[in-house]
Structure 1
Amino acid sequence: MKLRPVVGVALAAALVRWAVSLHDYSGLATPPRFGDYEAQRHWMEITVSLPPSEWYRNSSRNDLGYWGLDYPPLSGYQSWLCGKFVQHFEPKAVELRASRGYESPFSKFLLRQTVLAADALVALPAALAAAVVFGGGSNGRRLQLLVALLFSPATVLIDHGHFQYNCIGLGLAMGAAAAQAVGHDVLCSVLFSLSLNHKQMGLYYAPAFFAYLFGRCLQQRTPGGKVCAVARLGVVVALTFGLVWAPWLRAPGAAWLDVLRRVFPTQRGLYEDYVANWWCTSSRLIKWTRLLSQARLLQLCSTATLAAAAPAMAMQLLRPSPRGFLLCLAASATAFFLFSYQVHEKSILLPLLPLSMLFGAEDPQLLCWINVIATFSMAPLLQKDRLGLAAIGTVAACVAAVQIAQIATAKTDAPRQHRGGTPLLSGRRIQQRLIQLSFLGCVVLLVAFVTLPPPQHLPFLYDALIVTWSFLHIAALFAYVYILMLQEFHNAGKAKQP
């Protein structure tokens, strides 16, 4: 890709992020627990004030009942680094026990800068690598894919509005995907292991990475070659995890168990708030939490998730391919979002990433629709955070950037046939009609959500309607991904025939 347009896209994306960062954040001025902004600030407070062996352990100095650290160690290291930065300029913002609920304007500015820096240092290079690898040989298509990855409104809103650091975990996973596509399996294993160690939600991608990498190992010509390939990747993963977890593995008293208990808090419930997955949507008719115990629900969710992801895994085990891997990533992440246990509305970011890598250069119209639905599915959360205006602005920026990139690509590249499309959704009128109908439903629900008070006996009516409408779209998209996977699997089989 040429340097000038890449710089222009990066600067425009940074401007959108900066504009969103001027808005409110999760839990602003809402004691006693505030919100995700306070959680991130509190983790900085804990990590700069206590040794790693105490980060995940309840004590008089670390009350786990108040936003206890519940992300893996790499996230703790990130909190420590960001905390040191904040501490240098405003020590009161991370003072142990005395900084609870600290919300000065300057501390907000400092914390916002840490997310912008993380985005620039991790997500931007990963997006560049993914654009080069998955954009094909065309500079225009690569630029188009870069735009799709950097202008994702849902990701920008959650990280730079709501306030999180998903750009790190998603960036590492994106870099891992790019590495495997060019045959760097060791680098892929390291980057994905780091992604898992930043946020446990990286498990949404684990079936796809496992299936593809194991499938690659099975392609070795000899049994010894197969065993050596598997062993090499196993050693790489073990060493990466060992280095990240070293402070807790060395600490007395099985401190690593404290980390595991915090990272996988199964007692927190089936889902959080209103999320556009199967369990939340169907709970209006089936009271899952009344019918089944927590242990049974956990088993049911695990079984349903693995069953939904298993066909995609099987196809990659048998016939691994770079495009098939992206489809498997999308299928696996969507299966986890729809059926797994303890899903957040923000988890939509996980399937959104591989979908953007798939359709960013192939089908811009479909990509814009996916981004709108992903953002729409979080409407109750965004409304609570007072990010409605920011949501409209980021969606508009995404659509405009994608359209501009598409026009620029059309001028510089020869027309190409849509890869991997199906008669169902491949630039036909039916796609446009369905998207128009979808948008109309979103607009009607949003207008009612904002202007019409719900009935007193149904105070969360609009929240339920929004997640139900979103669930129908995400489920349909899940089915479409599987249609594309079957096509790719069939094409990969034909390519192997003499």
Structure 2
Amino acid sequence: MAAAATSPAPAAAWAFAAAICVKLLLVPTYRSTDFDVHRYWLALTHALPARRWYTDESSQWTLDYPPFFAYFSRLLALPAPFVDASLVSLPVPDAPPSFAYLLYLRLTVAFSDLLLLASVLLLATDAHRRRRPFLALVLVLWSPSLLSVDHVHFQYNGFLIGLLLLSLHFIEQGRDLAGGVVFATLLCSKHLFLVAAPVYFMYLFRHYCCGRGVVRGLGRLVLMGAGVAAVFSAAFAPFVYYGQMQQLFNRLFPFGRGLCHAYWAPNFWVFYITLDKILAFLLRRLGFNIQMPEASFTGGLVGNSSPFVVLPKVTPITTFLLVMLAMSPCLVKALSKPQPRHIIRWVSYATTCGFMFGWHVHEKASLHFTIPLALIAMDSLEDAKHYFLLSVVSCYSLFPLLFENQEYPIKVLLLMTYATLMWVGFSSHFTANSAQERKKVNESSSVVKKNSFIGWISFSYFLGLVAIELWSQVFHHYVFGDRLPFLPLMMVSLYCGVGMMYSWMWQLAWIVKHT
């Protein structure tokens, strides 16, 4: 693993085939409501004309992704009638899906992952005239978070992240126009990647359009603008014609859902909410008349509520300004000194900022930065240490998504296998590198001893994860019984939030220092 594979395609194909075997084993596992969502979208886009896609309300699972994803669902629906006619019939049957029905939908996710494989191969074969280690490919293709979210919980993140990585590949190769167009395609497929748009804009404007003379720069600006406009026109023009843009916008940006999801994503707002509750509790004990709202965050409800009692209410514009403020050092770097070799790191940091400070963030959004960061995890020992911690925390924060007992061994085994893979792979890679360095400078073996991936702080933090899990699975029931059912989730969010805050600060410090 220490050396780059001489021919990455066969090795990556083997890794992808092994991942497919795992995905097939996961076919009969738990399915979340996201399965019902995509099941309905498949039928909706097949049975109804496009002009009704964003106005149909015959189901609670209304279409709330951009048009390109709707077209993608329509494409997946084409062979569906040959498998099971009920796959594309409206209304969707209330009965549980047949095995053929279930297998078809699961396989559509696995099939769409081919784009992820292709993007990883492109990124691995020639990045600034160097090859990424084979382990970097495996870290992406065998991501336990991606397996859990897409192939158990049920989503199509692998396909979407494949588009993101393809865009990053083009930019690394200096093909900025192609990179911008592919990123526009991604935005028209899932708008949550919009948080990375400021970095793309700053980088492409400075690297592609500026410094090439006024005439040539304006020509390139027009060319990039035309390419992006063509993509957005292909996606949204039909719905402009139908007069549905307001309805479509309301579907894409439902700000009324509130600051946090039912299960808190482990980000900055976890600490803000917790502080508000602690202050409210203390003030009530001191005799102040503090009324707790009925739709409290700890009730696990989603809705347009105002649960803050002491601290100021958070609005969508507040979260937007915080995201932009947190992102500003990266934007300055991308504008002042654009370097293709840093684009993955900058885009990952931007999506991290969106995760940490954004509005109504889903815990699954951590995939948007953990997957790209896997590709640069072996660039340095410090990167490896950071990725080791981040990937474990990100995966563990997703444990509550798979809450049924039959999936418990699966999620634990996936995380433990991945952690072992990282430990062995990173140790082998950096120990070999240290041995080569010692031969060059005739240093002692103390260089290898520095290559420890877990210091006492990280080790203590991981022990805390184990303690949280033991409490959630064993001791909470014996201490509280059926009371405080949200407490284990709250503990997971808070504790993983500490790890995520560390990752955000580490990335920020690296960008300020090295780019």
**Aligned-partner Cα distance in 2 for 1:234–1:119:** 29
Instruction: Give 1:400 deviation, angstroms.
Output: 4.2
In the other structure, the counterpart of 1:349 is 367
Q: Is 1:128 equivalent to 2:121 in the alignment?
A: yes
Instruction: Give 1:335 deviation, angstroms.
Output: 0.7
The match for 1:52 among 50, 53, 75 is 50
**Are the aligned partners of 1:272 and 1:342 in contact in 2 as well (CA < 8 Å)?**
yes
TM-score, L = length of structure 2: 0.83
**Aligned-partner Cα distance in 2 for 1:146–1:203:** 25
Gap change, CA 1:393 and 1:485, over 3 Å in 2? same
Aligned AA for 1:354? P
**Aligned-partner Cα distance in 2 for 1:430–1:13:** 26
Within 5 Å, which residues of 2 pair with 1:71-90?
A: 71-90=65-84
**Aligned-partner Cα distance in 1 for 2:351–2:386:** 18
- Rg larger in 1 or in 2? 2
Instruction: Give 1:474 deviation, angstroms.
Output: 0.8
Q: Is 1:9 equivalent to 2:15 in the alignment?
A: yes
The match for 2:395 among 337, 353, 375 is 375
Gap change, CA 1:259 and 1:285, over 3 Å in 2? same
In the other structure, the counterpart of 2:255 is 266
In the other structure, the counterpart of 2:470 is 447
SS at match of 1:325: helix
Instruction: Give 1:98 deviation, angstroms.
Output: 4.4
Within 5 Å, which residues of 2 pair with 1:21-170?
A: 21-26=27-32, 35-58=33-56, 62-63=57-58, 66-100=60-94, 102-120=96-114, 122-134=115-127, 137-138=130-131, 141-170=132-161
**Aligned-partner Cα distance in 1 for 2:128–2:385:** 17
**Are the aligned partners of 1:17 and 1:156 in contact in 2 as well (CA < 8 Å)?**
yes
Within 5 Å, which residues of 2 pair with 1:82-481?
A: 82-100=76-94, 102-120=96-114, 122-134=115-127, 137-138=130-131, 141-217=132-208, 219-251=210-242, 254-273=243-262, 274-286=264-276, 289-290=307-308, 297-360=315-378, 362-363=380-381, 364-383=384-403, 387-402=407-422, 405-406=425-426, 431-454=454-477, 455=480, 457-481=483-507
Aligned AA for 1:299? I
Aligned AA for 1:95? S
**Are the aligned partners of 1:70 and 1:263 in contact in 2 as well (CA < 8 Å)?**
yes
**Are the aligned partners of 2:180 and 2:228 in contact in 1 as well (CA < 8 Å)?**
yes
**Are the aligned partners of 1:449 and 1:462 in contact in 2 as well (CA < 8 Å)?**
yes
In the other structure, the counterpart of 2:300 is none
Gap change, CA 1:411 and 1:97, over 3 Å in 2? same
Moved more, 96-105 or 178-187: 96-105
**Are the aligned partners of 1:24 and 1:387 in contact in 2 as well (CA < 8 Å)?**
yes
**Aligned-partner Cα distance in 2 for 1:488–1:409:** 23
Aligned AA for 1:91? A
Q: Which runs of 5+ in 2 are unaligned?
A: 1-5, 278-305, 438-448
**Aligned-partner Cα distance in 1 for 2:410–2:238:** 40
Aligned AA for 1:463? L
**Are the aligned partners of 1:136 and 1:142 in contact in 2 as well (CA < 8 Å)?**
no
TM-score, L = length of structure 1: 0.86
**Aligned-partner Cα distance in 2 for 1:284–1:386:** 32
Cα deviations by residue, 1:37-84 (Å, 9 ceiling, x for unpaired): 1001011111110011100003xxx425x1100001111112112222
Gap change, CA 1:20 and 1:226, over 3 Å in 2? same
Aligned AA for 1:328? W
In the other structure, the counterpart of 1:493 is none
Aligned AA for 2:343? F
SS at match of 2:467: helix
Gap change, CA 1:105 and 1:131, over 3 Å in 2? same
Instruction: Give 1:290 deviation, angstroms.
Output: 3.4
Gap change, CA 1:411 and 1:478, over 3 Å in 2? closer
Instruction: Give 1:380 deviation, angstroms.
Output: 1.8
Cα deviations by residue, 1:59-112 (Å, 9 ceiling, x for unpaired): xxx425x11000011111121122222222101133101424542222111110
Question: How high is the sequence identity, in percent, across the aligned residues?
Answer: 23
Moved more, 92-101 or 326-335: 92-101
Moved more, 78-87 or 229-238: 78-87
Moved more, 311-320 or 78-87: 78-87
Instruction: Give 1:291 deviation, angstroms.
Output: 5.6
Gap change, CA 1:186 and 1:106, over 3 Å in 2? same
Instruction: Give 1:170 deviation, angstroms.
Output: 0.8
Cα deviations by residue, 1:445-495 (Å, 9 ceiling, x for unpaired): 111111123535532111111111111111111111112112222xxxxxx
Q: Which runs of 5+ in 1 are unaligned?
A: 27-34, 418-425, 490-498
Instruction: Give 1:365 deviation, angstroms.
Output: 4.7
Instruction: Give 1:391 deviation, angstroms.
Output: 1.4
Gap change, CA 1:271 and 1:89, over 3 Å in 2? same
Gap change, CA 1:430 and 1:93, over 3 Å in 2? closer
**Aligned-partner Cα distance in 1 for 2:403–2:379:** 31
Aligned AA for 1:147? V
**Aligned-partner Cα distance in 1 for 2:19–2:140:** 10
**Are the aligned partners of 2:139 and 2:374 in contact in 1 as well (CA < 8 Å)?**
yes
**Aligned-partner Cα distance in 2 for 1:385–1:76:** 34
Instruction: Give 1:413 deviation, angstroms.
Output: 7.6
